[in-house]
Amino acid sequence: MGAGVIKRKSGGARRGRRRGNSAAMSEINVTPFVDVMLVLLIIFMVAAPLLTVGVPVQLPETAAEALPSEQEEPLTITLTADGLIMVQTTETPADQLIGKLRAVAAERENDKIFLRADGAIAYEQVVQIMGALNAAGFRNIGLVTDTGGPRFNGQGG
């Protein structure tokens, strides 16, 4: 992105001062800038879908609206259909869950925890996890569901 040099032919001697044969070109070449921006755009388009939590669960559907998004990636606990407990994408035994959450939460600004449970999981298991989180001092717990469920007002989802 440097300035180029234009060579001028001298048409003869000028009076007084003599100027050099070249002058700085005042135009900016934006082609390299556009090339870099297109490469960055492609990188971000490929990387963005990979930033979501990747534990597959069949979430129950509700009529609730989505919460507004936040700056920090939410701390997510997932209960799979197989009965596994995942903190973000790492499998965690039930007896180590609270200790791991305390260690992770100590380094975070936000205290919100999202609980994702497969629809095939018994309600008792979900409530037991919520109770353990509450007893450990985690009070800001949000349940994650899919939209489009029944509204129970005579209208479909």
Distance CA 55, CA 77 (A): 10
Question: Do residues 60 and 149 touch, judged by C-beta distance below 8 A?
Answer: yes
Token output for 119: 């629809």
Q: Is the pLDDT of residue 40 over 60?
A: yes
Instruction: Convert the pLDDT of each residue in 88-132 to its tens digit.
Output: 888 999 899 889 888 888 888 888 888 999 888 888 888 899 898
Range scoring the smallest mean pLDDT among 49-53, 77-81, 144-148:
49-53
How big is the chain by its Cα radius of gyration, in Å? 30
Residue with the bigger pLDDT between 12 and 123: it is: 123
A 10 A CB-CB count for 76 gives 19
Say whether pTM exceeds 0.85.
no
CB neighbour list of residue 55: distance below 8 Å, 6 or more residues apart: 78, 80, 86, 89, 116
Whats the size of the chain, residue-wise?
157
